[in-house]
Homo-oligomer: A and B are copies of this chain.
Amino acid sequence: MDITIAIDAMGGDHGPHVTVPAALKALNSDSELNIVLVGLSDVIEAELKAHKATVSPRLRIHHATEVVTMDESPQSALKNKKDSSMRVAINLVKSGEANACVSAGNTGALMATARFVLKTLPGIDRPAIASALPSEKGNTYMLDLGANADCTPEHLYQFAIMGAMLVSCVEHKERPTVGLLNIGSEDIKGNEVVKQAGELLKASHLNFYGNVEGDDIFKGTTDLVVCDGFVGNVSLKTTEGLAHMMGKFLTQEFKKSWLTKLMALCAMPVLKAFKNRLDPRRYNGASFLGLRGIVVKSHGGADRVAFFSAIHVAIEEARSGVLRRITEQLEIEHLQPSTAVKNSQDMQ
């Protein structure tokens, strides 16, 4: 299936130096993919030239005169940067010229702009950020990872619907299991919001597993873990911190003496295989769910390998029709009027 991905070529800590070669790699690996690179055309052209590449019917440049900086406030980006690479890439999704867009730009500005330009799906109050994480059994998907610090039970219910349909589409699982992140497995555990969300999920048509705890994320107890953006963001960053500390301590132990250095040398192939298995670059690309269009956020510091993963997430979502699936499920759950489906013909 032919699809077109708009790429905010200027976004992220490294801009076109990362986004352009990652886009070229994506084009090479997928013959039915078209890419629009959005940003300052001379900078993008120079980067293409450096990689001995040129524009073609499959690789277009869409000029945009402004760039949203990594520390710019969402309000400023929204108000003052109407011709930013980020916004124009999202506009291409809105107009139907692209099936999805990818940006490594700042999260707040991207979310605010995406929400302003695309609007939320009928039946969805707030968009949420979802991502795949490695687990002992494969991938666990989790949302919200930071878009919504304060949530109502209804928000969590909507997140569950969006997340379950994402997993269903991307992992090809008919009825993915949904876990509600809590501090105990019994129904009576947790705060009031979570308790009420549990009731909504029990009454839903989703494959609700029940409460899960923090350790269930990496155990892979359920396909999807639902939580508010505060808990999700803290959990995710806590694990990043732990992984960093463990890596540092392991390196320190191996560097203690010439003998331990020798041991490190002996074990290097295994340590490399281990590191590769958990390589965070393979999990780069968070989905903004709940919008009338597909927006994928790459880590700002992503390198080419990581940004390529984010493009891949956008491709998967666009091809599998995740927006249609979410809309259908919202209707099954009676969360939107059935006419809304007809009104959202711009969604593929």
* Interface residues of A, Cβ cutoff 8 Å to B: 134-136, 146, 149-150, 181, 183, 189-192, 194, 213-219, 227, 229-231, 233-246, 248-250, 253-254, 256, 260, 263-264, 266-267, 269-270, 273-274, 277-278
| CB atoms of B263 and A267 under 8 A apart | yes
Nearest B residue (CB) for A261:
B270
How many copies of the polypeptide does the oligomer hold? 2
Q: With a CB–CB cut-off of 8 A, which chain B residues contact A230?
A: 183, 190-191, 194, 231
Q: Is there an interface contact between B245 and A243, defined as CB atoms closer than 8 Å?
A: no
Q: Which residues of chain B come closer than 8 Å to A149, judged between CB atoms? A: 183, 189-191, 194
Q: A214-B235, A217-B238, A245-B135 are in contact. Are A260 and B269 (CB under 8 A)?
A: yes
Q: What is the CA–CA distance of A238 and B346 in the complex, to the nearest angstrom?
A: 39
A239: chain B residues at CB < 8 Å are 214, 238-239, 242
Main secondary structure of the interface of A (DSSP, over half): helix
Which residue of the partner chain B has the closest CB to A148?
Answer: B191
> A233, B183: Cβ atoms under 8 Å?
yes
| Residue pair A218, B192 in contact (C-beta under 8 Å) | no
Give the CA-CA distance A124 to B238 in the complex, in Å.
28
B238 near A214: Cβ-Cβ < 8 Å: yes
User: Hey, which chain B residues are within 8 Å of A269, CB to CB?
Assistant: 260, 263
Q: How far is B233's CA from A189's CA once the two chains are assembled, in angstroms?
A: 12
Q: Measured between C-beta atoms, what is the minimum distance from A10 to chain B in Å?
A: 23
